[in-house]
Copies of this chain bind each other. A is one copy, B any other.
Amino acid sequence: MRTIKLNLNKRSYNIVAGGGIINLLGKYIAGLDIGSDAYIITNSLIKNKYAGALERALRQAGFTVKFKLVPDAESAKSIKMVSAVIEDIVRYDKKKRLFIIAFGGGVIGDLAGFIASIYKRGIPYIQVPTTLLAQVDSSIGGKTAVDLVKGKNLVGAFYQPRLVFSDVNTLKTLPPRQLRSGLAEVIKYGIIKDPRLFAYLEKNYADILARKGPVLEFIVGRCSRIKANIVQEDEREERGRRTILNFGHTIGHAIEAAANYKGYNHGEAVALGMLVACDISKALRLIDDEAAKRIKQLIGSTGLPVKIRKLCAKDIIEAHYHDKKFIGAKNKLVLIKGIGKTKIAQNLPLEIIRQALRKRF
């Protein structure tokens, strides 16, 4: 078991990662003094698998427990769902000692975190992520959001959880495609910040895909530390420090959007986005062939896509220019100067992006 402290003065919290730790959750929450009534937002898939252990742990520590099921799909992240869940919370929140647990992947974390941020102008919440993507990335840092009909994540808040509790055993039942999606973010941390993690992944990716417990605990702990360090320095994405987390994401988001959020999941699109950013970095002579080759090899070995199918470059470029990260129509891309070192590029000529994109077809 690993404990990582995320320091944000009054909003500091711990990230706890380990195998089979769910039975300890009640004790951890009891130590926070955040209330008596646990309102757990989850979906039926996760509830069927893990609710027993979670409920037992909470009841033994003296908490009341109420599960709220939402769909296992992006559609759960809607303003409508926000209203519906809060109307339900009001019915249950009699003693006014209620806190929220987000028990699931990124969609549930985003929805539950946003609800916690706006209900009564903010109540405490806990992240209990059950996917690799959520454990290494979305559960940490307090970025919450829901979708509008007009666009993903257009509504949200920066609102920190009181605890992130990652039981890596939940990854053992994760569908392989979802595990790989999370692995794309793990690889990203290696590329932007941690050459030793990158080398570890080159050596151990097969054990990750085989869900070996100690390996999973190692990568979740290591990535949580990296994410926590970055969030500590730039909680609200104001200082640019958090920008490097967008490596692979600007083009990745454009690929997801161009494919209408079907076809590619987040990690697959990010893998392709990282390869494009990598090719741009090479074209600008920021990295050598060796580094580019290692990155391509690792992404390919894990079974993540290295080629874009059923899309054309034009649609991706267009989607790219609609991305909300553009400020005043200037583009901004995270590139690399080597494994572990980033460089922010602004106003790149479109032709350079286009050429790098073409290599992915």
Contact = CB atoms under 8 A, between A and B. Distances in A.
A84 to B, nearest CB: 10
Interface stretch (A41-49, A116-124, A302-310): A116-124
A340 B18 CA distance: 56
Contacts of A117: 157
B328 A154 contact: no
Interface string A201-231: 0000000000000000000000000000000
Contact of A328 (B96, B114, B121, B122): B96
Given A118-B155, A119-B154, A83 B87 contact: no
Closest 10 CB pairs of A and B: A90-B150, A121-B156, A79-B83, A118-B155, A87-B150, A121-B158, A121-B157, A87-B148, A118-B157, A86-B148
Given A121-B143, A121-B157, 12 more contacts: A79-B79, A79-B83, A80-B83, A86-B148, A86-B155, A90-B154, A91-B150, A96-B324, A96-B327, A120-B155, A120-B156, A122-B158
A122 B155 contact: no
B121 A83 contact: no
A329 B95 contact: yes
B119 A155 contact: yes
28 contacts: A79-B79, A79-B82, A79-B83, A83-B148, A86-B154, A87-B148, A87-B149, A90-B148, A90-B150, A90-B151, A90-B154, A95-B328, A95-B329, A96-B327, A96-B329, A114-B118, A118-B118, A118-B156, A118-B157, A119-B155, A120-B155, A120-B156, A121-B143, A121-B145, A121-B157, A121-B158, A122-B157, A122-B158
A contact residues, range? 35 or more
A97 interface: yes
A148 B89 CA distance: 11
